[in-house]
Homo-oligomer: A and B are copies of this chain.
Amino acid sequence: MTKRNLLTTIGMLAVVSAFAQKEYPSRAPMTPAMSEYWTPQPPIVTPGKAPAEAIGAPSDAIILFDGKDLSQWENSKGQAAGWTVHDGVFTVKKGTGDIRTKQKFNDFQLHLEWCIPEGIEGTNQARGNSGVFLQGIYEIQILDNYENETYVNGQAGSIYKQTPPLVNAMNKPGVWNTFDIIYTAPTFKKDGTYRTPPRVTVLQNGVLLQNNTTILGTTPYVGFPEVVQHGDGPIALQDHGDPSAPISFRNIWIREL
């Protein structure tokens, strides 16, 4: 069975066995800072100036947001997505929760664009924090780390709390960033562990951040990655709910591979 409530899971579940018949010790509880590391900071790369006009979607893409409405999206209860559509973009509406696509996917190529508002305040992770969850489970971090240092496995384009990006290729607040993500879904053995792990390639603003990187498991805020069996899943976007200003998205499309 797939586990659909993963987005709300916090903390350290051990790998789950359907066959566990007796009590075993749990892992000792951890704190968030235990899975954060700060060095080496990825080199800073200034991306090439993006053209004014966005690149259009290929003919075989599923358009997930075309500037008009959130009809392809829902909240985590399966209700209408409550984020705000305006000016051809949509913006996180704090407190309405994460949103996800109604459609589920296996392997895919995903394009999305996101913008940190000019004049944003806050530092470290409290600055434009969001994320895109692949198959609803594995978070690629979204954050403003333009002249804002944070732990490296929490930078934009990191596999959150796992693998930092190769470089820091941020545009500054007010300028749109692009993510191009190539994702290969995992396959599973009968015991629920990975037979082949998920893998991901990420480019931000055309610059390589992840090169077919192995994803080790879930991307929890606290503790180790977990391996949890699942099938196809949605693309989800995070309402991080912190006091830094909301971020916006546009031009989202996906191609099934």
Contacts and interface: CB of A to CB of B under 8 A. Distances in A.
Interface of A: 14-17, 19-20, 24-31, 33-41, 43, 45-60, 107, 109, 111, 149, 151, 166-167, 169, 180, 182, 184, 187, 189, 191-192, 195-196, 199, 201, 203, 205-208, 211-212, 214, 216, 223-224, 255, 257
Contact of A51 (B31, B54, B214): B54
B207 A255 contact: yes
Given A45-B58, A58-B206, A109-B207, 9 more contacts: A15-B39, A16-B39, A25-B36, A28-B31, A48-B55, A58-B207, A107-B189, A182-B201, A208-B255
Copies in the complex: 4
A224 to B, nearest CB: 7
The A interface, classified by DSSP as helix, strand, loop or mixed, is loop
B52 A56 contact: no
Nearest to A152: B15
Given A55-B206, A201-B201, A255-B207, A34 B34 contact: yes
Contacts of A257: 166, 189, 208, 211
Given A25-B33, A33-B28, A39 B20 contact: yes
A211 B235 CA distance: 20
